[in-house]
Amino acid sequence: MTARVQNASLLRDGPGVAVPAVELGSRPGDQPDGLQAKLPVERLALDFRYLTSDAYLKLSPRDAVRPFAAILHGNVAASGKGWPEVRSRLRPLDAPDHIEVLVTTSAVDHDTERGFELAITDELLFGACRVEGIRGAGVAEAAETVYRGLLGLIERRGYPCLLRMWNILEDINGQQDGLERYRHFCRGRHEAFAAVQPGTVDCPPAACGIGAEEGGLCVYFLAARDPGLPVENPRQISAYRYPQRYGPRSPSFSRGLLNRFDDGAHFFLSGTASITGHESRHHGCISAQVEESLRNVTALIRAAQERSGQALDLASPTTTLRAYLRAEDHYAVAREIVERHLGSKVKVLYLRADICRRELLFEIDGQVFMPSIQP
Ligand code: 3EB
């Protein structure tokens, strides 16, 4: 087990006795509703919150639980308050906009380097970058340049361990020089890992690789000082070992990755679709694809618990997921199945997106957060 728990004494005052709880963000009028911390923790290294734009625009870098980066889905005005704001170029299916905010109680620094906007805490480095002008060609080169840049940057800044990558590629299923653009992307990404961080080739971070209608290549990441624990799914071949028929270089991602800080355990769930072994299942059937994807998620979470000894509750209110749908009119049926399986406490964003294999209609990813002190 490579993940670690630091300063457990910060959270516990003797066996099983919680220190007096500080209800973060509980001063009246201080925090918008969506950010009210329900968790009685003194320190929060990282949490994900889903907010409406009204609540988002009230956030301040001086909040006790403060944003350190935000992902804007839909037509949201940027806040311009200093933290990185990434436009996903993905459209929410149930509202005009949704904002995903990464929050922390740690002090946050911001910087830029080589086209990356950075947010830096004691525990984490967040970075985001976009390369445009790759409509006709150059996807592999763009991916390799971005990944070489970020791998160099995380080394130099002392956060060499990638935990989670998010990759959003314009026209992901389009063809370029007789090869699908996603496969060009996988080639460039693989070349960068092989050249700069070869140890990561069969121990990659959790990730998602999805398609947008515009926006070139958008890559953002979370990196840490020490490695997390990558976890594979017994129902699926590791993506980094996919056979050549899926492209000249395999996709560099682990099915999931578990990380522990003193605030609790974060399980990063990679993009999970209707694939068993290495083959896509249930061509053309949205309900069967959603069911198969959820069976994969369940199997992966079980594997993660067995490998780490860490309890993980997928159906917990601290879980935040994103469901990607290729076709807008599959939204109602997909949501009904997701809620039937996970209950209604889990927060799920539904987004219109392309999936990296043409026949796939659905993919789901996100985070399962198990706080050290239960609410
Ligand atoms: C799959 O299982 C579906 O290329 O980073 C899922 C998660 C997928 C991450 C990536 C691709 C990626 O192969 C696609």
Query: What is the per-residue pLDDT across 37-89, written as a single tens digit (0 to 9) for each?
Result: 444 457 899 999 999 999 999 999 999 999 999 999 999 999 999 999 999 99
Least confident segment among 21-35, 148-162, 184-198: 21-35
Catalytic residues: 363
Question: Within 10 Å of residue 242's Cβ, how many Cβ atoms?
Answer: 18
For residue 159, pLDDT beyond 70: yes
For residue 36, pLDDT beyond 50: no
- Residue 356 CB less than 6 A away from ligand 1: yes
35 — pLDDT class (breaks 50, 70, 90): very low
Q: pLDDT tens digits, residue range 80-90?
A: 999 999 999 99
For residue 366, pLDDT beyond 90: yes
- The residue type at 305: Q
Residue 76 C-alpha to ligand 1 middle, in angstroms?
A: 27
Determine the residue of 253, 280, 281 to mutate for testing ligand 1's pocket, defined as the one with the most ligand atoms within 8 A of the Cβ atom.
Answer: 253
- Taking the CA of residue 185 as reference, the ligand 1 atom at the shortest distance is 4
Residue 335 C-alpha to ligand 1 middle, in angstroms?
A: 21
- Residue 364 CB less than 6 A away from ligand 1: no
Residue 270 C-alpha to ligand 1 middle, in angstroms?
A: 7
Alpha-carbon span 334 to 287, nearest angstrom: 7
Model pLDDT, residue 373: 74
Model pLDDT, residue 42: 78
Across-strand partners of 125?
A: 120, 223
Specify burial of residue 334 (Cβ count, 10 A radius: 0-12, 13-18, 19+). buried
Model pLDDT, residue 375: 52
CB 320 within 8 A of CB 313: no
Model pLDDT, residue 299: 98
Model pLDDT, residue 21: 33
Alpha-carbon span 82 to 68, nearest angstrom: 9
The token pair that represents 88 in the structure block:
């996903």
Provide long-range contacts, Cβ within 8 A and 24+ apart, for 285-289: 286/327, 286/330, 286/333, 286/334, 286/361, 286/362, 287/333, 287/337, 289/360, 289/361, 289/362
- Segment 3-13 shows an average pLDDT of 30
Residue whose Cα lies nearest atom 6 of ligand 1: it is: 271
256 — pLDDT class (breaks 50, 70, 90): very high
- Residue 275 CB less than 6 A away from ligand 1: yes
16 — pLDDT class (breaks 50, 70, 90): very low
pTM > 0.85: yes or no: yes
